[in-house]
Amino acid sequence: MNSLDELAKEYDRLCQRVKPSEFPYTFMTERQDVGSPHVELTDGEYHYIVTERGLDLERKSTADIKEILYWMLYDLTFWMGVRFEFKNRIEGPDCRRVIFAHQLELMKRADAAMAERLELHIAKTLAANPFNDRY
């Protein structure tokens, strides 16, 4: 049986492995309309929804707790990677080099299977949109 409590506990456990100390990882179950995600549970199915100003920017649904946890950790680690890159900016290389490397490092801390999935996602992204270094 799926529950938001079970999801929240597992998300917190994974976040503790990532240790996003200066990055918030709140688990929201109600829309905030500020571009942040929240989770709803309807008829045994999780809904991962990003809303802003009354609009749904993203909506994904699954009954699989591992799937929604991946979506949640993907977003958390991506934005942690963006923040890390911004604080450690190097002129020249494509900023995604640092973002993706840091995101992958964080995801490996959380869960090895999720990290493998992320590696495939990054590879597909780069196959379609290769790095664009400016030296």
pLDDT in tens, 98-135: 999 999 999 999 999 999 999 999 999 999 999 999 87
Closest CA to 77 of 13, 37, 116, 19: 19
Q: Is the pLDDT of residue 1 over 80?
A: no
Between CA 81 and CA 83 the distance in angstroms is 5
pTM as predicted: 0.91
pLDDT at 38: 95
If you count them, how many residues does the chain have? 135
